[in-house]
A and B are shown apart, each in its own frame.
Chain A
């Protein structure tokens, strides 16, 4: 079957760096997405990776290794507003999105 694994919850300190991991198993692969979702709100797009390597976008970076079925989202200089759930989603060969349950990130002062 197809599935996404990511940690349920992580805690980090304001100003620090945190890495949120995601492993995926899909039938074929057409890219991996990260979305941010604040409590009670809609997901918003953060990043898309389809080739191996690191994509940097300001304080957020996303990494992909297709051979390992692995991605991570790196958040630098954490701010309190970064407290949210981070959803990993992989697109399979039929262009269907397989979603993870999200990683709840708690930022402490």
Chain B
């Protein structure tokens, strides 16, 4: 089945210790997104790639970086996690960015910061 896979599902890190979350897709979608979602809150878009074009949201902290080495993979790097970065990180993909643009989400990576 075509899908979006995130690893790890659960990540525990220490304050300030870098973390990398990964996302892979077999849908051959052009667009890949990273969202941060805290409990009972709306998903917050951090950035997205349209093919190799990187689009950073204006309010995404510099502490968050992303890489998309090829169509299938995308990584989220958190350089110095703080307690406020504890959240569920959702990767999503879509064919394009306009119209009936349905997002397919991965199962998420839950980050705990000690």
A binds B: yes
Chain A positions within 8 Å of B, measured between CB atoms, are 4, 8, 30-31, 33, 35, 40-45, 48, 50, 85, 87, 91, 95-97, 99-102, 104
Which residues of B does A touch, CB under 8 Å? 40-45, 88, 90, 92, 97-108, 110
Known contacts A45-B104, A102-B40, then 10 further A-B pairs from the complex at CB < 8 Å, ordered by chain A residue: A30-B99, A40-B110, A41-B107, A42-B108, A43-B43, A95-B98, A95-B99, A95-B101, A101-B41, A101-B42
Q: A41-B108, A42-B90, A42-B107 are in contact. Are A99 and B42 (CB under 8 A)?
A: yes
| Contact residues of B: prevailing secondary structure | loop
Q: Are A48 and B102 in contact (CB under 8 A)?
A: yes
What's the least CB distance linking A84 to chain B, in Å?
13
Among A42, A45, A50, A97, the most chain B Cβ lie within 10 Å of the Cβ of A42
CB within 8 Å for A42 and B42 given contacts A31-B100, A95-B97 = no
In the complex, chain A residues whose CB is within 8 Å of the CB of B98: 30, 95
Q: Complex Cα distance A95/B102, Å?
A: 12
Which chain B residues border A42 with CB–CB below 8 Å? 90, 92, 105-108
B97 nearest CB neighbor, chain A only: A95
Question: Closest residue of chain B to A9, judged by CB?
Answer: B40
